[in-house]
Structure 1
Amino acid sequence: MKEKAIVLWSGGKDCNLALQLAKEEGYEIVALITFHSKSTEFRAHSREWMELQSKSLGIPHLLLEIQEPFAENYELQLQKLKDQLNITLAVSGDISEVHGNSNWISDRAQAVGIKTFLPLWHMDRTEVIKQLQEFDFEVLVTMVKSPWLDRTFVGRKMDSKLIEEFKALGIENGLDLCGEQGEYHTMVLNGPSYRSPILMNGFKIIQHEELFHLAEMNLSLDGKYKVPSLEKQKVCVQCGIPFSCYTQGCWCAELPMIMPMENTTDCLCSACLKSRINEKLIENDQKPIE
Structure 2
Amino acid sequence: MSDADGAWVSLFSGGKDSSWALYRAIERGLPVERLVTVHPEGDSYMYHVPATDLTALAAESLGIELIDVEPEDFGAEAAVDSSSQGDDELEPLEAALADLDRELPGGVAGVTAGAVESEYQTSRIRGMCDRLGCDLFAPLWRQDPRELADAMLDAGFEITIVQVAAHGLDESWLGRTLDREAIADLEALHEDYGVHILGEGGEFETFVVDGPHMDRRIDLAYETEWDGTRGRLRITDARLA
Do the aligned residues in 2 keep the contact of 1:43 with 1:214 (CA within 8 Å)? Answer: no
Structure 1 counterpart SS, 2:169: coil
Q: After superposition, where does 1:235-250 map in structure 2 within 5 Å?
A: none
Cα drift, residue 177 of structure 1 = 0.8
Larger Rg: 1
Do the aligned residues in 2 keep the contact of 1:21 with 1:119 (CA within 8 Å)? Answer: yes
* Alignment gaps of 5+ in structure 2: 76-87
Structure 1 counterpart SS, 2:33: strand
Correspondent of 2:32 among 23, 29, 34: 29
2:98 maps to 1:91: no
2:61 maps to 56
What amino acid is the match of 2:182? L
Correspondent of 1:9 among 8, 12, 35: 12
Cα drift, residue 217 of structure 1 = 2.8
2:135 maps to 1:115: yes
| Number of equivalences | 219
The alignment-based identity, stated in percent, is: 26
Q: Give the whole-Å Cα distance in 1 for the aligned partners of 2:121 and 2:14.
A: 23
Do the aligned residues in 2 keep the contact of 1:79 with 1:112 (CA within 8 Å)? Answer: yes
TM-score (norm 2): 0.83
- Change in Cα spacing, 1:155 to 1:37, as seen in structure 2 (3 Å) is closer
* Alignment gaps of 5+ in structure 1: 223-290
The higher relative CO (CA closer than 8 Å, separation ≥ 6) is in: 2
Q: Give the whole-Å Cα distance in 1 for the aligned partners of 2:227 and 2:49.
A: 10
2:218 maps to 1:218: no
> Which structure has more helix as a fraction of its residues?
2
2:51 maps to 45
Q: Give the whole-Å Cα distance in 1 for the aligned partners of 2:230 and 2:124.
A: 25
Structure 2 counterpart SS, 1:88: strand
TM-score (norm 1): 0.70
Q: Give the whole-Å Cα distance in 2 for the aligned partners of 1:40 and 1:62.
A: 21
Q: Moved runs in structure 1, 4+ residues, more than 4 A?
A: 38-43
What amino acid is the match of 1:165? D
2:136 maps to 1:133: no
- Change in Cα spacing, 1:191 to 1:97, as seen in structure 2 (3 Å) is same
